[in-house]
């Protein structure tokens, strides 16, 4: 169990079918962002962020109309904010709390 953050357009990330980020839209975005690369894992595309992170392979995954990750460090969270803006979406946690500012989330997995 852990904290998961989601990039979503829906009122609640669990209802993403109402206003999904489509997989094709997500992959088209990934193709335009030089900081993201596709890594296939277990037959599913996992997107690795190449930016400065505390993690060796900070990842994002599309699933059911959202783009999500678990326990993002602060740098990956900030990248998620930029992606959300580009996709006309927002960043939320599992409780649908919306994160809008770079200072809203601070996590260092080494601390």
Does residue 111 register a pLDDT over 90? no
Residue 91 has a pLDDT of: 98
Distance CA 80, CA 7 (A): 7
pLDDT band with cut points at 50, 70 and 90 for residue 74:
very high
Query: Under DSSP, is residue 73 helix (H, G, I), strand (E, B) or coil?
Result: coil
Pairs from 31-34 (Cβ < 8 Å, separation ≥ 24): 33/83
Chain segment 5-59, per-residue pLDDT in tens? 999 999 999 999 989 999 999 999 999 999 999 998 788 889 999 999 999 999 9
pTM of the model: 0.94
Q: How far apart are the first and last CA of the chain?
A: 19
């Amino acid at each position: 169990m852990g904290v998961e953050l989601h990039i979503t357009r829906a009122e609640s990330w669990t209802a993403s079918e109402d206003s999904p980020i489509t997989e094709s839209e997500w992959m088209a975005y990934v193709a335009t962002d030089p900081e993201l690369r596709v890594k296939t894992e277990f037959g599913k595309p996992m997107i690795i962020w190449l930016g400065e992170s505390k993690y060796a392979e900070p990842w994002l995954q599309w699933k059911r109309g959202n783009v999500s990750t678990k326990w993002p460090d602060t740098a990956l969270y900030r990248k998620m904010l930029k992606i959300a803006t580009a996709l006309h979406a927002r960043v939320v946690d599992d409780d649908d709390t919306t994160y809008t500012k770079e200072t809203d989330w601070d996590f260092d997995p080494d601390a």
